[in-house]
Amino acid sequence: MLKLTRYVLYDIIRSRVVLAYAVFLLLVSFSLFQLEENHSKAILSLLNIVLIVVPLISMIFTTIHYYNSYEFIELMLSQPLSRTRILLSEYAGVAISMIAAFLLGVGVPVLVYSPDPTGITLIFTGAGLTLVFTSIAFLASVKARDKARGIGSVLLLWFYFSLIYDGLVMLILFAFSDYPMEKFTLLLAALNPVDLGRISIMLKLDVSALMGYTGALYKDFFGSNTGVLFTSAMMLVWTAIPLWTALVIFQKKDM
Amino acid sequence: MRSLLTILFSLVALVVSAGIIEVGKDKNTKSLKLGVSLAKSGDTIMLYPGLYREGNIVISKQIQLIGVGNPVLDGELKHEMLTITGHNIVVKGITFRNAGYSSFNDYAAIKIIDAGNVRVEDNNIINSSFAIHIANSTESIIRGNTIRGNNKSEHSSGNGIHLWKCSGMLVENNSIEGHRDGIYFEFVTFSNIVKNRSEKNIRYGLHFMFSNDDNYQDNIFRNNGAGVAVMFSKKVTMTRNHFEENWGAAAYGILLKEIKEGTIRQNTFVKNTVGIFMEGSSRLNIEKNVFMNNGWAVKVQASCDENTFNFNNFYGNSFDVSTNGTMTLNKFSGNYWDKYEGYDLDRNGVGDVPFHPVSMYGMIIEQNPTTLILLRSFMVSLLDKAEKAIPSLTPENLIDDKPMIKPHRL
């Protein structure tokens, strides 16, 4: 499995797309830190990148990579290797390269300019989101045979997680505003990895606002050790379940 | 030389005529109570180091009670230690501890009642419910005292420095922690609160009611349960104070309720849940303040009118201004907003397009606080952008017509 992962990694690095992604992130992060005199403002802009760009690139790259290495996968399937192993090596290869690119592109500038709890949370959130969305993209591409359909569904999923979902949450909160919705909101937040990531950074950035009436509940929950554990566990679940489903589909799939 | 000698001699003569009573374990007078009863008006009592458990002592003559080397008065959690009533009295350099508590009387470590020209200076007051309680007094000075409360619940704890119905008072350089309200003013006029530090009090750092023509400046109010409240007062001036880390559902840097014609100038508001909360306030000048990293920098309720916000700096606040109505009777002009995205074509330092400090999402939160969970989400920023282009929900006229491009140097 390690050997296979290594081949996948070589392949990815040779294509230079990941390198371009890392350089892009690095340029953006450094220029943000240079432009804004106030580092917390730069972190705020980086937050948007982490929440929007990282899931998008992770998903699109994963899908394209999957379809491009379809022949390689077919070749591997003709060898005496288990299907689980092949897909997991593919996943490991992609996830490792994406996380490495993220750590280089965002992690290094953040550690240089603003190595405080907010920055560290930002790095962890970005890495977690990379893992989650790589896994979701694997599910989508294993499910769809057609490349166009795969990329289309991935784009839709990205749109759903980063925009539509929050709209739905707001709709629900307004529709049921007569009821105590605070606890339910916690559940709603847990059902979207982007929201989970956003909230964990928000807890560091907007402490003062969160100490208000409803915010205090969110802070008490997500800010406590249990909350941090919960967020990490939910991120893991968000990685594990799509990946596991992808594995199940892949095993039964008629290539 | 001769004149100097004359002055010296006359001073000595004065001291001799005033008379000094020494109270201490190895002095003639062992008990402070006895010392006070022996003293005549104009005398000085020197209190030497030791622990004095003498219950309540009443001073009603013109005397100076001065501690030498930190003597300790202990109220054994039963008594009010000093009751001062009269004029020209000084209490200086003494440690008071364990004043009594009663749910019927306001026992205090030092109670000053019906007095004038009293000076309470450089004392330490530890573990008392009320530390310094002043009622119906004038022209007195409370300076350089260190007050540490026992920080129990709101109803069993008293105020650090409590003034009721006073005039011309000066509260300066005191440090107060762990009381109910750090400094409490009710019906106090023409008084100054200067350079005090009020922290970690259960309720307000400064509580201010029905007190007109007062001035407070250079104070630090940090981490109090509910910040600072200024209510039902006229002509209050607040200058160069720091309001920091007042966190909570009902915590405000300053809560202004029914305030008229005041000035809030050059203050710093950092990391408060709400920097300034205004209700029913009018004709206030709020200028040259710094609002940094607050949840809400300013909440102006629709009941406020004719207030002006000029030359303030707003940085890193989650929300700059929020309000609960659409009518705009307050004026914002010449402030610096870090969220301003306009341009300055003629390069005069003033942005060419007005700034709307109230965001769409700020209005949404006001209506439905649960939506706070969506703070900083992509959708919210899209909503804000759309609203900026075509205002529909946010008050149209609540604008800063001259937003600054660079922060003011304050």
Quick one: pLDDT at residue B7? 60
Residue B57 near residue B66, CB atoms below 8 Å: no
pLDDT digits (tens, 9 = 90+) for A130-159: 999 999 999 999 999 899 999 999 999 999
Q: What's the gap in Å between the CA of A182 and the closest CA on chain B?
A: 6
Q: Do B28 and B62 lie in a common domain?
A: yes
In total, how many domains does chain B have? 2
Cross-chain Cβ contact B273/A177 below 8 Å: no
Strands B82-84 and B108-113: parallel
Task: Tell me the C-alpha distance between B314 and A65, whole Å.
Answer: 46
Cross-chain Cβ contact B295/A209 below 8 Å: yes
Q: Which of B315, B367, B375 sits opposite A206 (nearest CB)?
A: B375
Q: Do B125 and B251 lie in a common domain?
A: no
The neighbour count for residue A135, using CB atoms within 10 Å, is 25
The neighbour count for residue A238, using CB atoms within 10 Å, is 24
Distance between the two ends of chain A, CA-based, in angstroms?
21
Cross-chain Cβ contact A211/B251 below 8 Å: yes
Q: Do B249 and B156 lie in a common domain?
A: no
Q: Do B267 and B192 lie in a common domain?
A: no
Quick one: pLDDT at residue A186? 86
Quick one: pLDDT at residue A205? 79
pTM of the predicted protein model? 0.86
The neighbour count for residue A26, using CB atoms within 10 Å, is 17
Quick one: pLDDT at residue A208? 67
Domain boundary among B193, B225, B257: B225
Q: Do B239 and B210 lie in a common domain?
A: no
Token digits of residue B219: 């104070």
SS (H, E, C) chain A: CHHHHHHHHHHHHHHCHHHHHHHHHHHHHHHHHHHCCCHHHHHHHHHHHHHHHHHHHHHHHHHHHHHHCHHHHHHHHCCCCCHHHHHHHHHHHHHHHHHHHHHHHHHHHHHHHCCCHHHHHHHHHHHHHHHHHHHHHHHHHHHCCCHHHHHHHHHHHHHHHHHHHHHHHHHHHHHCCCCCCHHHHHHHHHCCHHHHHHHHHHHHHCHHHHCCCCHHHHHHHHHCHHHHHHHHHHHHHHHHHHHHHHHHHHHHCCC
Quick one: pLDDT at residue A211? 66
pLDDT digits (tens, 9 = 90+) for A163-205: 999 999 999 999 998 988 888 888 898 899 999 999 888 888 7
Domain boundary among B167, B192, B225: B225
Cross-chain Cβ contact A174/B368 below 8 Å: yes
Say if B376 is an interface residue toward chain A (CB within 8 Å): yes
Token digits of residue B305: 């009118």
Q: What is the ipTM of this complex?
A: 0.84
Which residues in chain A have their CB less than 8 angstroms from residue B338's CB? 38, 41
Cross-chain Cβ contact A205/B376 below 8 Å: yes
Q: Do B68 and B139 lie in a common domain?
A: yes
Half-sphere exposure of A227 (CA within 13 A, CB side): 17
Beta-ladder partners of A218: none
∠ CA A36-A38-A42 to the nearest 5 degrees? 55
pLDDT digits (tens, 9 = 90+) for A217-245: 788 888 888 888 999 999 999 999 999 99
Spell out, as residue ranges, where chain B has pLDDT lower than 70: 1-18
Q: Do B52 and B148 lie in a common domain?
A: yes
Domain boundary among B164, B190, B225: B225
Query: Domain of B204: which CATH number?
Result: 2.160.20.10
Task: Tell me the C-alpha distance between A174 and A218, whole Å.
Answer: 18
Q: Which domain holds residue B36?
A: 19-225
Q: Do B91 and B181 lie in a common domain?
A: yes
Q: Do B275 and B215 lie in a common domain?
A: no
Q: What's the gap in Å between the CA of A45 and the closest CA on chain B?
A: 10
Q: What's the gap in Å between the CA of A108 and the closest CA on chain B?
A: 24
